[in-house]
Structures are given as C-alpha cells and as structure tokens.
Structure 1
Amino acid sequence: MAISFNRLKKIEKNTVLLPELSLTVQTGEIIAVQCENEYIGHLFELLNHLHQIKKEAMTLPEGDFQSVYLLQQTDGLYKRLTVMQMLMFWCKLYQQQADLEQILNLCELQPCASKKTKHLTRSEQCRLLFASTLIQQAAVYIFEDPSLGLDLQSKHVLHNLLIHLADKGAAVLLFTSTLEEAIRLGNTVYRYSNRGTQQLEQDIEDTEDAVEENYEEETTSMQVQLDKISAKIEDKIILFNPLEIDYIEAREGQTYLFVNDEEFASSNTIKTLEERLQPLGFFRCHRSYLVNLQRVREIIIWSKNSYSLSLDNPPGSTIPLSKGNYSKLKELIHL
C-alpha cells in the first residue's frame, strides 16, 4: 500500500463539502476517480492544508507527505524562463539529477526547449508541468484533472507519462470530472459522489467473447424501425428520433441520452436501448456507452489496450472504446 484515504471528509456548518472518500492505491497502480469539479477542489484544498485532515483519515507512504507529489491546475511557471531553464530550475529545487533530453523527448517538448514559458500554448505549458513529475522523485503522484483543456498530442503524452511513472514503481492517482478520461487513463476506475466511492465495472473480454453476437447476420435482417426514445425533464416527456442521439451513457444507475450539447435522463436501461437501437446503427462501444456510429468521426488509439471514439457532434465529444469492442467495431465497419 502506497497511500490510503480512510473515510476522509469535509463538513462545514452542517454542510457536506466533501463526502466520505475511502480509497487505497498500491505501488504500480494507476487509479482514476471521476467526480464533480467541486469535490476535486475541496479535496486538493485539504491536501494543501494537511493540518485540517485528521491523522486517521489518511495513511501515507514512508517519508510522510514529502513522498507525495501533487500536480494541480493552479501550478505556475516562471514566465521569463525557457523550457530548458525551467527543467534545470526544478532539478536544483528538488536536488535531483535528471536526463533532461530524455524528459524533453517523453513530454514532446524538444521543438520549444528554448522558448520562454510565457510564449507556450496552454497544452505545451501542461506538458512542461508534466515534466516536473519526472524530476521530483515521489512514491505517490496525485493529479488534478490533468487532461482538462489538452490537445490530442498532449493527451498522448499524459497517457504515456502515467504508464512511465507506474512502471517505475510509483502509485498514481488522478481525479477527473469526465468518465471518458477516467476510463482512458486509469487501469482501475472509480466514481466518487455523495454516496461515496464505487468501483466502475470494467469490461471483461472473456465474458464479452462468450456472448459475442453475429453482426453479419443481424445486418442482413435489419429493417427500418419507426421508434421514438423517451426522456423526461421535470414533468415533461420528450420523444427523440433515435438518429438525433449522439451517444448514450449509463451512470450511477441512470441512463442518459446525449443530443448535441445536452443530456437527458431516460427511464430505459442501456441494455434495453441497445436492443432497440442496434438495428439503427448504434454500437455498444463500452459497458457504459452506446454510440450512434453515424456520429463517429475518428477512432483514437492511445495504446494497444486503450481506445476512444471521437464524434462529430457540436461539442466534439470523445467516449471510450473497450479493447474487446474495438475488434468488433473493426469487423463491423470492415477495417
């Protein structure tokens, strides 16, 4: 065990600001937790003010909290320093010797090594902050919504960085507001809400293979279905044409329809919707997601075990694609 939260919570004036958080991270693990932005903010506020945390609420690695590295959205850079000078500054600050060329390569910062940080793009600045984790030697790394606002290149860098840290024997814990990012980045995924911490069921490839359906036969028997999908808003029931729906997500026992940039709660289970919508071109890309294939613009391959689908809807959504369903999708679209 590297670090453990033991019913950590924050209450002010009879208001629960941070529900009970119970979670253990082992060395070599990458654990991703999806929760509200508000909870992430309160948690990192506590982690920056350890005197507010009861001793029994956290179990720390050897070396106490000095062995824990926090990477936050608010971390700043010295604007007048170049990228290389910033790396050298961190080496001096943390009293570490590091292969700076290797770090530049891993974080894809070579083209801007001599550029001042004030002239970097938002994503380049984030990659430079990621580089600091390779200089500071820690037993535990905790990230605050690290993929927020990143371009595709930087998301690849982040993905590889987390694997690199875990392979070096560190425990990696990240908190993100989006489930898609949690699934993409974490080997183990949790949802954290006012009901506490719940592990997300991952797709089990053997089970999926056992129930694999013959898509070729189903395609030949497809018929046009004039069917509406219902969703409820307060006292109103909305009926959607299935082809209006971009994708469907199952979350915390509820199913949500995503249409353009809005989400609508549905009383149907995702399994029921899959049975109804599969003949209309919907595909179960992940245990928690059902996607309209007409909306898929790109299949993103992060690694041999991590995939996402990029959609051409107005918000440019990305949703996870499990390894087993990646193979099924390739067959379905004749790749």
Structure 2
Amino acid sequence: MVFSFKELNKIHENTVMLPPLTLAIEKRDIVAVQSENEYIQRLFDLLNYPKQIKNNTITFPEGGLKKVYLFQRDDGLYKRLTVMQTLKFWCRLYEQEPDLDIILNLCELHACVLKKTKHLTPSEHCRLLFASALIQKADVYIFEDPSLMLDLQSKQILHNLLLHLARNDGAVLIFTTTVEEAIRLGQKVYRYTERGIQEIEQDLEKEESLEEKLSQDFSRMQVQLNKVSAKVEDKIILFNPMEIDYIEARDGQTYLFVNNEEFASSSTIKSLEERLQSLGFFRCHRSYLVNLQRVREIIIWSKNSYSLSLDDSKSTIPLSKGNYSKLKELIHV
C-alpha cells in the first residue's frame, strides 16, 4: 500500500460535509472515483491544508505530502512565460532535470512551445498542467476531474499520461464527476456518495431477483408495445425507442437519456436490452445500452479502453473490451 484514506470525513455543525472515505491505493494502480463536485472540492481543500486532517486518517508515502502530486484545474500559470519557460521554471522549482523533449511529445506541446501561457487554449492550458506531473517526481498522483471539457486529442493525451505514471511505479487516483470518465480512465472504479464509497463492478451482471424475473415473465404474456415508459413526478411518459440515445443503470435505477435529459425508468436494463435489441440497441457495457443509430464513432484509447461518441458530439459512453469485439462483428468491421 502506497497511500490510503481511513474513515476520512468532515463534519461541520452536525452536518456531514464529507462522508467517511476508506480507500487504499497500491503502486501502479490507476483508481478512479466518481463523486459529486462538492465532495471532490472539500476533499481537495483538506489535502491542500493538511493541518485540518485528523491523525491516522491518511497514510502518506515515505516522504510525506511532498511525495503526493495534486492536479487541480484552477492551478494558475505565469501568464507572461512561454510554455518552454514554464517547463524550465518547474524544473528549477522541483530540482529535476527531465528530458523536456519527451515531455513535449507526451503532452503534444511542441506546436505551442513558444506561445505565452495567456494565449493557450483551454485544452493546451490543461496539457501544460499535465506536464508538471512528469517533472514533479511523486509516488502518488491525485487528479481533480482532469478530463473535464477536454477535446478528444487531450483526452487521449491524458489517458497515455496516466499509463506512463503507473508504469513508472506511480499510484494514480482520479476524482471525476461522471461515471463514464471514471470507467474510461480507471482500472479500478468506485462511486463515492453520502453512503460512503462502493466499487463499481465491471464484469458479470448481478443475478436478477425473483421479483424481477416474475415481472419479466408477466410482461411477456402482455401485448408487446414498442414504447418505453419513464416516470416524471406524477406523470408517465412514453418514448419511441428511436428517441432514446442511450440507457444507463446507476445506483439500482435505470435512466433513459433523450436529447441530453435523463428520465428514470422502472424497467431493468436487462429487460430493456431484451426488448430493444431487435430495434438496434446494443449492450456496450455492463451499465450501458446504446442506440446504435446514435453512434458517430468508436474511440480507441488503448487496446483495453474504448468509448462510443454519439451524434450530439457531447456524449461519450464506455465500451467494454469484450463488447468491442462483439460490436466489430455486428457492424462487419
């Protein structure tokens, strides 16, 4: 174990600000945790001001907090410095002499090496911050929502960066607000809520309850309807399947995504898969069912990490390694 949280929490005036967090990270791990933004912010506030942390709730690597790298999106840059000047400044600050060519290649910064940081695009700004992780030698790397609002090129760079850090004996911990990004980036994936932290299973579907099976048997005896129902307050909405972009199972509930809005459904994702498979829906991941008519491209991050980009160009959903092979057969690639 390189780094761990043990019942780390924060209570203010009888209000739970940070639920108990217990998590251990080993060398070469890439662990992703999905949580609400407010919890992520409060956790990083504690890490930035370690005097607030209770004794024995965090185990640091040998060398203490100095061996922990924190990536935060609001980290500032000296606006008058160029990209190269910034990298050299960090080298002096951390007393390191890395090969800057390797860093520029890995973060794809060669094209803007002479550009002042105040003129960088948001993605270039973020990629420059990524470069600091390659200069500051650490045992543990903790990232705050690093893929937020990144373009696809920068997401691929981030993915390669995390693999590079892990291959070089780093322990990587990512906090993100979306399940899709947690699944895409992490080798181990957790969800952190007011109930604490729970691992997200990524393999076999859980056995369905007897009640669910009886419900499915009963529904098969009914007249088959193409409409998919969802409940909003006291109303039941019926969607044409072709209106649905994708379906996600989350926290024991199923959600339909239509035009960037989500609607809770009383059906299980398994039963919806059986109903909608013949209409062009594909189980791309344990927790996701996608309308293939909405898929624009298959994104290959690495030989073990894939995503599907949808027509609206804003939505990406995970594609598991096993289902990537099935999808290739289905679309004759």
Q: Secondary structure at the match of 2:62?
A: coil
**Consecutive aligned runs of 4 or more in structure 1 exceeding 3 Å deviation:** none
2:231 alignment partner in structure 1: 232
Match of 1:244 in 2: 243
Query: Is 1:39–2:42 an aligned residue pair?
Result: no
- Cα distance in 1 for residues equivalent to 2:176 and 2:238: 32
Residue in 2 that maps onto 1:179:
179
Which one-letter code corresponds to 2:162 in the other structure? L
Q: Take 1:101 and 1:61, find their aligned partners in 2: how far apart are those partners?
A: 29
User: Which residue number corresponds to residue 8 of structure 1?
Assistant: 8
Q: Secondary structure of the residue that 2:56 maps to in structure 1?
A: helix
Q: Secondary structure at the match of 2:96?
A: coil
1:78–1:117 CA contact under 8 A, matched in 2:
yes
Distance 1:269 1:233 in 2: 17
Question: What is the Cα deviation at residue 9 of structure 1?
Answer: 0.9
The residue type paired with residue 118 of structure 1 is K
Matches within 5 A, 1:259-274: 259-274=258-273
Matches of 1:273 and 1:56, distance apart in 2? 46
Q: Do the aligned partners of 1:203 and 1:322 also contact (CA within 8 Å) in 2? A: no
User: How many pairs does the alignment contain?
Assistant: 315
Question: What amino acid maps onto 1:45 in structure 2?
Answer: D
Task: Report the equivalent of 1:200.
Answer: 200
For 1:320, the aligned partner's letter is P
Residue identity opposite 1:190 in structure 2: Y
Match of 1:317 in 2: 315
Shift of 1:203: 2.7
1:297 is aligned to 296
- Equivalent residues of 1:29, 1:170 under 8 A apart: yes
For 1:52 and 1:231, the matched residues in 2 are separated by 45
Q: Structure 2: any 5+ residue segments left out of the alignment?
A: 206-223
Separation (CA, whole Å) in 1 of partners of 2:21 and 2:318? 25
Return the offset for 1:120.
0.7
**Deviation digits for residues 151-194 of structure 1 (CA, Å, limit 9, x no counterpart):** 11100100000000000001000000011111111111001111
3-state SS, counterpart of residue 66 of structure 1: helix
Distance in 2, Cα, partners of 1:27 & 1:327: 30
String of CA shifts for 1:298-317, please: whole Å, max 9, x gaps: 1000011100000013x620
Per-residue CA deviations over 1:91-111 (Å, capped at 9, x if unaligned) read 000011110011000100001
What letter is aligned with 1:201? E
CA–CA distance in 2 between the matches of 1:236 and 1:10? 39
Q: State how far apart, in whole Å, the 1-side matches of 2:255 and 2:14 are.
A: 32
CA displacement at 1:238 relative to structure 2: 1.1
Which residue of 1 is the match for residue 326 of structure 2? 328
Aligned to 2:155: 155
Alignment partner, residue 307 of structure 1: 306
Query: Could you tell me which residue of structure 1 aligns to residue 257 of structure 2?
Result: 258
TM-score (norm 1): 0.92
Aligned-partner Cα distance in 2 for 1:204–1:307? 18
Aligned-pair CA distance for 1:7: 1.0
The 5 Å alignment of 1:73-84 reads 73-84=73-84
Do the aligned partners of 2:5 and 2:21 also contact (CA within 8 Å) in 1?
yes
Q: Deviations over 1:39-72 (max 9, x none)?
A: 1111101111111111121111111111101010
1:112 and 1:186 mapped to 2: Cα distance?
29
Identity of aligned residues (%): 73
2:254 and 2:265 in contact (8 A); partners too: yes
Letter in 1 for 2:247: I
Please tell me whether the aligned partners of residues 306 and 321 of structure 1 are also in contact (alpha carbons under 8 angstroms): yes
What SS is found at the alignment partner of 1:174?
Answer: strand
Q: Match of 1:56, SS?
A: coil
The Cα shift of 1:277 comes to 0.7
Cα deviation code 1:197-240 (max 9, x no counterpart)? 111111369xxxxxxxxxxxxxxxxxxx7421111111111111
Distance change in 2, residues 1:204/1:272 (3 Å): closer
The answer (yes or no) to whether the contact 2:295–2:309 under 8 Å persists in 1 is yes
Q: Displacement, 1:261?
A: 1.3
Residue identity opposite 1:157 in structure 2: I
Pair 1:284-2:283 in alignment: yes
User: Equivalents in 2 of 1:293, 1:170: separation in Å?
Assistant: 38
What TM-score do you get using the length of structure 2 for normalisation?
Answer: 0.93
CA contact (8 A) 1:190 1:197 kept: yes
In structure 1, list runs of 5 or more residues that go unmatched. Answer: 206-224
SS at match of 1:55: coil
